[in-house]
Amino acid sequence: MQAMILAAGLGSRMRPLTDHTPKPLLPVAGKPLLEYQIERLVNAGVDSILINVSYLANQIDDFIHSRDWPIPIGLSHEEHPLETAGGIQKALEQGNLDPGKPILLINGDIWCDYNFSNLSELPPHSSGHLILTHNPQHNPDGDFLLAGDGTVHPKRAQIPSQVDSMIPLTFSGISLLAPELIPSSQQQPPPLALGPILRSAAELGLITGEHFEGYWLDVGTPERLQELEEKILKGRE
């Protein structure tokens, strides 16, 4: 099982904390957020991890090379912002990701209790499996609709008549993607966003998902970073 952590963003919403530190390295209860992500992936049985980096990339590079990790961890440097799908595209074309295996994709700025070991294989006939969660205050309308049969649909799509029990939910930033879902750079050059690709595939019935009802947090602002720190420290009491 191969994983990719998205860590190339500027962290603009987290300023001033990210003026001199990349968001994945911001400390949470004494440890960088990125380290928690890596530990959970290792514990889930992931064989290798790739991290895309851009903003203050040298700091993430130094952090990764300062530790003796139990599995290979590589870095994919992006000189210019490529967007999420563009970052995957580059990693595939440069041989940093195996095109024959699904990609466990994780946003570098989320915290979630989801068990990553559940994402070892894609469901039948699925090109992408999304972990969806409750709609937070900052995204009350959600991102996708989850049907009772496990298929995922765009919010404004024409839903097949046989599909019912539609629930609007928020994309958690955790997914398992088939590499062939991502077009080549010749087909669609970067920057290339992932959202439109997922919505187009969902319209074709190629995206599945599940509703995760455990703890999830988009650690995108100083206030949410503080919320997460308080939760972790409370759990240690």
Mean pLDDT of 67-85: 95
* Position 236 pLDDT exceeds 70: no
CB neighbourhood size of 125 (10 A) = 9
Domain 2-236 has CATH 3.90.1200.10: no
Whether 47 shows a pLDDT value over 60: the answer reads: yes
Residue 164 — pLDDT band, cuts 50, 70, 90?
low
Domain positions in the chain = 2-236
What is the distance between the alpha carbons of residues 56 and 61, in angstroms, rounded to a whole number? 9
Contacts of 42 (CB under 8 A, 6+ apart): 69, 70, 71
pTM, to two decimals: 0.93
Indicate the residue type of 194: L
Per the document, the length of the chain is 237
Convert the pLDDT of each residue in 96-153 to its tens digit: 999 999 999 999 999 999 999 999 999 999 999 999 999 988 888 899 999 988 999 9
Percent of the chain past pLDDT 70, that is, above it, reads 95
Q: Which of 170, 144, 172, 142 lies closest to 157, judged by CA?
A: 144
Please compute the mean of the pLDDT values over residues 19-29 and round it to a whole number.
94
Amino acid type, 108: G
Q: How far apart are CA 191 and CA 185, in angstroms?
A: 9
For 205-234, letters b (16+ CB in 10 Å) and e give bbbbbbebeeebbbbbeeebbeebbeeeee
